[in-house]
Amino acid sequence: MYKRSRNLFFIVFLLLTTSITTFSQDEDNKKLALDLVEQAELVMEATQAMDVARDLYIQAVQADPSNIIANYRAGDFHMKTVGKEKAVEYFLNVLNLDAEYRFDITYLIGRSYQYGMDFDKALAYYNRYKTKLLERDGYRGRDRTELPEVERRMYECQNAIEYIANPAHFSIVNVGSSINSEYDDFGPVVNQDETLMVFTTRRRDGNLNQNVFSDNKPYEEIFFSEKKNGVWQPAQNIGDVVNTEFHSSTLALSADGEQLFIYQDDNNGDIFESFRKEDGTWTFPQPMSENINSEGFKESSMSITPDGSVLFFASDRPGGLGGIDIYYSIKNENDEWTRSRNLGPIINTEYDDDGPFIDYDGKTLYFSSQGRKGMGGYDIFKSEYDSAEGKWGEPENLGFPINTPDDDIYFVSTEDGKRGYYASVREDGQGFTDIYMVTILQEDEIGDNIASRGIETTETEPEQPETQEPQKVETPKARDSFKPVTLTVTVVDENNQPTDAKISLTNKQNGRIAGKSTRGTGVYAFSVTTPAAEEFRLSVEKTGYAFQNLDINLPASTGQSQALTRTVRMSKLRVGTRRVLRNIYFSFDKATFKDESYTELNKLEAMMSQNLNMQIEISGHTDKIGGTAYNKDLSQRRANAVKNYLVNKGIDSRRVSAVGYGEAQPLASNDDEKEGRELNRRVEFRVIKK
């Protein structure tokens, strides 16, 4: 572990902001790209700041798209940091420039497509690589990915297609800016009555450590938030007694909130415990028993039963079934932890198994696994202990949308079993990894339980023959007869030709994601069962085109199947393209975002990241209520807020200008609120360079 001065931030910033301006416009672009690659290598040598190096490689590609080193490393560093789905464009460039530059380049393209949830394309490239691997079996270079791993990825893609077509009934909502920051926030743990959340963060604000880790980011520190009147309060640092000069992160919290378990780097990673004192502060953390912590190996996560009698934890110690296994220890009559034991092959696999959480019922174990029937990375599973049989039940994948092709881990449930918390990278995130609340939707909220039984519902079911005895229907199960509403969306380009796109349909009220299947190029079918007419958001994205977020009203499900169609025409990004950011919301009279704005902001950031040469103007607009000068100032502050968000997410500030027009450019009359002033209070983007 090495300390890094915060002054390195200024060094890196200087490198990043002067890399292009030190060269005049007419300098040779190839020379510029080589210089940017060299600077990226210096950054990595000095700080291991992958995100900064990644942006330098991206700039190098922008300067010289034929630079194969810059393309490969831009993709590689995306895969190692954030935006894994964005790596595909750089890897495709490598393939087109030199198909032999890296032996497994088609495998890497498949990986990026898998992260981007484009599973058909991922499978196509995995198959392409598999064929190459079999044809050149004698190749033993370091850039060879072995066949078992390729086949595992293909299996994950096939699973993902199945899970996405039949999504689980969960609402997943960002817990908001009181807890989440623009940096990584993860590892949430809550007490029994959900009035205290303790979590891990790498934010700068409030961080007590003046040094940074080797990746040039702040060390992990533990923060907490209290819920008052049903609202999470602004998070605070838990203090320097618990947080150390190196990494400190949350693992578990006792049901009463009085005992906190944390991870520290000592002895290659051990579990420590701290107790809450009467004044609300915490005792100095102490390492747990040697029956829990091993000598020289890592104990990375844990959970304890509500009565404190059984402890579950993950470790990479020798003797397990895979790299990381889940173990348990029982507290004896002397209040001591007994020798730990492996949970066995029903839970553990040959892959990594981590993140155990024992539910309040004392018999349901949630955990994450890189094995089993997963979508990729870690997937969250649950298993129930059968006390009569004395064994754990077969683990069940929680499904999409909780699980994704990336790592989904450290899920904790609430006492009533209706909610849970975990960290994930999602479209509406305020930073990189954010903390989310998961709500398990009840049958009266989803209208029917057919999909939960895994029965295909996208096609009309045949009527029963007249000669067959009618089936008896028991009340109150009448809603089981609801037939799904099927929405078929065709995405076309400017020539009205079907085109593939990234597309999703989400219930605006409860966040439930609709099941999706592909019916051909650019044709997608969504199946929804809902007891009442509800509004959904249809999101469509495609590289090189302006993204679209459309609101669609779907009718209530009835006893008859209903089919709707919709065509979405995509517009290419070119100079002059203008779009209203329809879901950017500000608090009244302020320039701070509401939580529901981040999905739109992240799509704008993704569009900028996919189109490296594009420059845009962000324009703020108001209605005519208030003074002209004040409205102009407010619109400018709101436009600045959008620009600042993009810059904080890694977009070069020179690619974004912000202008406040106040009330000068209305879309409609200011005489009416709903059809006028509401439309005029908006933020737009306009392409000024492509």
Do 659 and 673 fall into the same domain?
yes
Domain that holds residue 33: 4-165
Contact between 472 and 549 (Cβ < 8 Å): no
- What is the share, in percent, of the chain residues with pLDDT greater than 90? 62
User: What is the tens place of the pLDDT at every residue in 490-514?
Assistant: 999 999 999 999 999 998 887 888 9
Identify the weakest region by mean pLDDT among 24-28, 164-168, 210-214, 488-492.
Answer: 24-28
pLDDT at 639: 92
pLDDT at 218 over 60: yes
For 522, phi and psi rounded to 5 degrees? Answer: 75, 10
- C-alpha 38/C-alpha 56 separation (Å) is 9
User: What is the tens place of the pLDDT at every residue in 576-635?
Assistant: 998 888 777 776 677 777 777 888 888 898 888 878 789 999 999 887 777 889 889 988
Do 565 and 614 fall into the same domain?
no
pLDDT at 244: 86
Do 134 and 269 fall into the same domain?
no
User: What is the tens place of the pLDDT at every residue in 406-428?
Assistant: 999 999 999 988 999 999 888 77
The kind and range of the H/E element at 457 are none
Q: Which residues of 476-494 are buried (b: 16+ CB within 10 A; e: fewer)?
A: eeebeebbbbbbbbbbbbe
Mean pLDDT for 521-531 is 91
pLDDT at 671: 55
Q: Report the half-sphere exposure of 441 (CA within 13 A, side-chain side).
A: 27
Do 375 and 240 fall into the same domain?
yes
Q: How many domains does the chain have?
A: 4
pLDDT at 169: 86
Do 660 and 602 fall into the same domain?
yes
With bands split at pLDDT 50, 70 and 90, how would you rate the model's confidence at 453?
Answer: very low
pLDDT at 266: 86
Give the predicted TM-score (pTM) of the model: 0.82
The burial class, CB within 10 Å (0-12 / 13-18 / 19+), for 231 is exposed
pLDDT at 14 over 80: no
Identify the weakest region by mean pLDDT among 95-109, 120-134, 166-180, 469-483.
Answer: 469-483
Pairing of strands 196-201, 221-228: antiparallel
pLDDT at 16: 53
Do 149 and 260 fall into the same domain?
no
In a domain, 465, yes or no: no
CATH of the domain at 63: 1.25.40.10
Do 336 and 379 fall into the same domain?
yes
- C-alpha 563/C-alpha 483 separation (Å) is 10
For 158, phi and psi rounded to 5 degrees? Answer: -65, -40
Do 93 and 31 fall into the same domain?
yes
Q: Which residues of 624-636 are buried (b: 16+ CB within 10 A; e: fewer)?
A: beeeeeebbbbbb
C-alpha dist (Å) from residue 164 to 158, 342, 498, 504, 586: 10, 33, 22, 10, 33
Count of H-run helices and E-run strands, the chain: 12, 35
- C-alpha 552/C-alpha 43 separation (Å) is 47
Identify the weakest region by mean pLDDT among 38-42, 265-269, 345-349, 356-360.
Answer: 265-269
Residues counted in the chain: 690
- What is the share, in percent, of the chain residues with pLDDT greater than 70? 88
Do 206 and 346 fall into the same domain?
yes
Do 240 and 366 fall into the same domain?
yes
CATH of the domain at 560: 2.60.40.10
